[in-house]
Amino acid sequence: MPWWGWVLGFAGLAVAGWVFARFAAHAPRHDRFVLEDRWATALPVSKALERISARFAGEGATIHKNQGEITVEMGSDRKFRFLGVESARGRRAFPTVLNITAEPSGTGAVLSARARDNLGWYLFMRPGVPRWAAERNAHLIDTCRSLTRPEGAEYQDSGGTHLGRLTEREPDPGPGPMDALNISNLVKIWMAWLILTVLAVFAGLDLSLGTYAAFTGMAVVVTAGMWWAERRRKSKWAARDHDPR
């Protein structure tokens, strides 16, 4: 295969990888898996938040602190996509955001916790993800409850697991980046291009520069057209949502 074929091949793969990565980073199509809880502790506000932040920072989470509030970000959507919910490493990589706010009370502090998934955009949600999201959210909040018990205090059951409240969902953040039909067509186009490239490189398929360039150009133009149409659709939705009328 001539040098220009290799150049076009690598360029096409780079474009396809960039486009799919941008799709994955968009707002999810699924409703967020959310769990909220509220409890009292005898610890002061600063001590309670410090215990929670120290625990999760030790596990490698990113901690954002504010006055009377911390936000914990843990896991990786990219790693979870690759490993899946079936493996222990994949479950540990499940992306989650935990927000804790604390208000002083007469006997200590009152804490409010909100845990939700931080998954990106998925064409199809993997089986087992909703259940694991429920268990993960409940585990995080139970951990916060345990950390904010004063030393020597007897354990008090918080009323069982929090799974009964996992039907709470966030409002729809807006339209997804692209519907399933367009994504399917886009995947087919680039799969056909990839097969053509593999045949040209490994099977000795004789392709002229014009034919290969035309097919590659078609795939790039269609991808760019879908991307432009999606940006236009989202901008129209945003304008309608903020229309003062």
CB 134 within 8 A of CB 191: no
Asked whether residue 47 is assigned to any structural domain, the reply reads: yes
CA–CA distance, 75 with 62 (Å, rounded to integer): 9
The number of domains in the chain is 2
CA dist 235 → 174, 186, 192, 228, 229 (Å): 11, 22, 31, 11, 10
Pair 106, 153 in one domain: yes
Strand partners, 35: 115
Q: Are residues 61 and 102 in the same domain?
A: yes
Q: How many residues does the chain have?
A: 245
pLDDT score at 89: 87
Q: Divide the 245 residues of the chain into consecutive groups of 10 and give the mean pLDDT of each group.
A: 63 66 59 89 93 94 92 90 82 93 91 91 76 92 91 48 39 43 63 72 64 74 70 58 42
Q: Return left, alpha or beta for 129; rule: phi > 0 is left, psi -120 to 50 is alpha, else beta.
A: alpha
pLDDT of residue 174: 44
Under 8 Å between Cβ of 226 and 193: no
Q: Looking at 145, 165, 185, which one is the last position of a domain?
A: 165
